[in-house]
């Protein structure tokens, strides 16, 4: 059986693409997002010169910050070095533009990524009792990035990913992370295609099968794999190759129907998740970065003149903000304009006094790192929940609370 996503309404797909355009005007290192470029190149749409300029900025900044001077107090305007996963996404960006790393600079990037992986391998440890400093998601992503550039990694590095798939090390707080499993599956699929680790061949084939089965089992009654936002990556993996008798075809059709409904609802606001979905809607996956088709015709995206929020409501709503992970606990009803984001609520609470918070820019948007002066420790995070106990599926910038809702910020380990 095969997983196909039949053509979707062009206008709907174009609207998604248009969502990316404003992000592509933001060319500071903090905002540059290699995933956007990859998603657009694997989509049926293009942004013309804006896209070229974006690639140019990505190259300048990433190369400067990754290869720049190593002297401690001279950091050529780089706030922070891109992380392992960001470096991996940058390598995918180059492939999306049909470039191979080849030059001396490129080789240094490859070495850096390999070195990152070695460090992570060490952190996981011989007995697999430890954890990567980043995550298995970034571990898989990095192997994938090297693989599409036809760069091999040691069996011992691949072995850690295999072990994680074989032993459910993708659990986040007891829940299967479908995104992580999908990324691992994509990385292993690439390795299998090139037969880069022949001694591991059987285990790789089996682990790909296992990750697909896990994802199919994680399908919700509505049709999502995991949740709505992990469905794009899950589909990318399922679309890579057929599977014998697993109900694959039906499962994918069901996911497509669910996606279509939620797309019409406008649930895909986040540029990163859009960038993971666009390839799927164009029957492409990250596997297509192995031999990308850079000549494929893509339609030009027109920026919409449509005003962003045609809502003229000035209605106020009340949202209760609660933090119990600190002493004394904080709880306060905050009144904000209807349609405000959770970030607006936090900001308002801050203005009213008695509440502080801090964020860090990430490819998914502002990531909440500090609440009431309490910063997250190793493998901890500030979880966003709707009372009593429902974790939010969106971040503070995207989630828009309803009137009367209670939002809890809870420090948890993962
Ligand atoms: Co998360 N997370 N996550 N996450 N996470 C994903 C991004 C995704 C897509 C998963 C999903 O639901 N399918 C959603 C976002 C959906 C959307 O945008 N609409 C998601 C969500 C919803 C959350 C939470 C909001 C859940 C909650 O609390 N209810 C929280 C964030 C709350 C906050 O702001 N404090 C959350 C937490 C986590 C943990 C478990 C802590 C880890 C991150 C810690 C770590 O890696 N050291 C986590 C991971 C690993 C991921 C995952 C699987 C990979 C991210 C990654 O490494 N990307 C993605 C899956 C995906 O992207 N499809 C989900 C690659 C690197 C290169 O990109 O930007 O540098 P990066 O990575 C950083 C950010 O992604 C950040 O942590 C990464 C490491 O520093 N981060 C952020 C992780 N999750 C989220 C979520 C949001 C909204 C933001 C702004 C940032």
CA of residue 364 to ligand 1 center, whole Å: 7
**What is the value of ipTM here, to two decimals?**
0.99
- Please tell me if the CB atom of residue 376 comes closer than 6 angstroms to any atom of ligand 1: no
The CA distances from residue 398 to 99, 216, 338, 381, in Å, are 34, 28, 14, 18
| E strand spans, 144-213 | 171-172, 175-176
- Please tell me if the CB atom of residue 366 comes closer than 6 angstroms to any atom of ligand 1: yes
Contact yes or no for 395/384 (Cβ under 8 A): yes
- Please tell me if the CB atom of residue 180 comes closer than 6 angstroms to any atom of ligand 1: yes
**CATH class (in words) of the domain with range 316-413:** mainly beta
Residue located via tokens 């190593």: 70
- Please tell me if the CB atom of residue 120 comes closer than 6 angstroms to any atom of ligand 1: no
Cα distance from N-terminal residue to C-terminal residue, the chain = 36
**H or E stretch at 406:** strand 406-413
Return the ligand 1 atom nearest residue 385 CA. Answer: 29
How is 343-387 classified by DSSP, letter by letter?
HHHHHHHHHHSS--EEEEEETTEEEEEEETTEE--TTEEEEEEET
Return the ligand 1 atom nearest residue 233 CA. Answer: 63
CA of residue 365 to ligand 1 center, whole Å: 9
Indicate if 316-413 has the same CATH topology as 11-300. no
Options 3.40.50.300, 1.50.10.20, 1.20.120.1630, 1.10.10.10; CATH for 11-300 is 1.50.10.20
One digit per residue, pLDDT tens: the chain, 414 residues? Answer: 899 988 888 899 999 999 999 999 999 988 999 999 999 999 999 999 999 999 999 999 999 998 876 555 556 677 778 999 999 999 999 999 999 987 888 889 999 999 999 999 999 999 998 999 999 999 999 999 999 999 999 999 999 999 999 998 766 656 679 999 999 999 999 999 999 999 999 999 999 999 999 999 999 999 999 999 999 999 999 999 888 877 999 999 999 999 999 998 888 999 999 999 999 999 999 999 999 999 999 999 987 756 556 566 689 999 999 999 999 999 999 999 999 999 999 999 999 999 999 999 999 999 999 999 999 999 899 999 999 999 999 999 999 999 999 999 999 998
Minimal-distance CA residue to ligand 1 atom 33: 368
Domain boundaries, the chain: 11-300, 316-413
């Amino acid at each position: 059986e095969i997983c196909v996503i039949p053509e979707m309404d062009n206008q709907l797909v174009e609207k998604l693409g248009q969502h990316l355009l404003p992000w592509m005007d933001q060319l500071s290192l903090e905002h540059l997002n290699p995933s956007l470029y990859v998603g657009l190149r694997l989509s049926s749409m293009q942004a013309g010169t804006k896209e070229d300029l974006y690639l140019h900025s990505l190259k300048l900044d990433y190369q400067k910050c990754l290869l720049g001077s190593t002297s401690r107090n001279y950091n050529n305007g780089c706030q922070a070095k891109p992380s392992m996963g960001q470096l991996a996404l940058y390598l995918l960006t180059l492939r999306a533009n049909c470039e191979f790393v080849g030059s001396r600079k490129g080789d240094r990037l490859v070495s850096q990524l390999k070195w990152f992986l070695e460090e992570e391998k060490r952190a996981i440890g011989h007995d697999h009792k430890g954890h990567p400093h980043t995550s298995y998601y970034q571990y898989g992503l990095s192997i994938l990035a090297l693989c599409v550039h036809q760069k091999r990694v040691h069996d011992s590095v691949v072995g850690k990913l295999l072990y994680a798939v074989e032993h459910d090390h993708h659990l986040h707080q007891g829940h299967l992370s479908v995104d992580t499993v999908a990324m691992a599956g994509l990385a292993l699929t690439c390795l299998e295609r090139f037969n880069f680790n022949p001694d591991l061949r059987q285990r790789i084939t089996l682990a790909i099968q296992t990750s697909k089965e896990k994802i199919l089992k994680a399908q919700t009654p509505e049709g999502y794999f995991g949740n709505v936002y992990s469905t794009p990556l899950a589909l990318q993996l399922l679309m890579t190759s057929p599977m014998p008798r697993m109900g694959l075809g039906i499962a994918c059709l069901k996911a497509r129907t669910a996606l279509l409904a939620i797309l019409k609802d406008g649930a895909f606001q986040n540029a990163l998740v859009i960038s993971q979905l666009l390839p799927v809607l164009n029957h492409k996956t990250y596997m297509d970065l192995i031999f990308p088709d850079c000549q494929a015709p893509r339609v030009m995206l027109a920026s919409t003149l449509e005003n962003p929020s045609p809502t003229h409501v000035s209605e106020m709503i009340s949202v209760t903000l609660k933090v119990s992970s600190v002493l004394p606990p904080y709880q306060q009803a905050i009144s904000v304009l209807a349609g405000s984001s959770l970030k607006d609520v936090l900001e308002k609470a801050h203005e009213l006094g008695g509440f502080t918070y801090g964020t860090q820019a990430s490819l998914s948007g502002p990531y909440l790192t500090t609440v009431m002066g309490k910063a997250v420790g190793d493998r901890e995070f500030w979880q966003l929940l709707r009372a009593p106990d429902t974790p939010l599926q969106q971040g503070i910038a995207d989630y828009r609370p309803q009137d009367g809702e209670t939002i809890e910020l809870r420090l948890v380990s993962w």
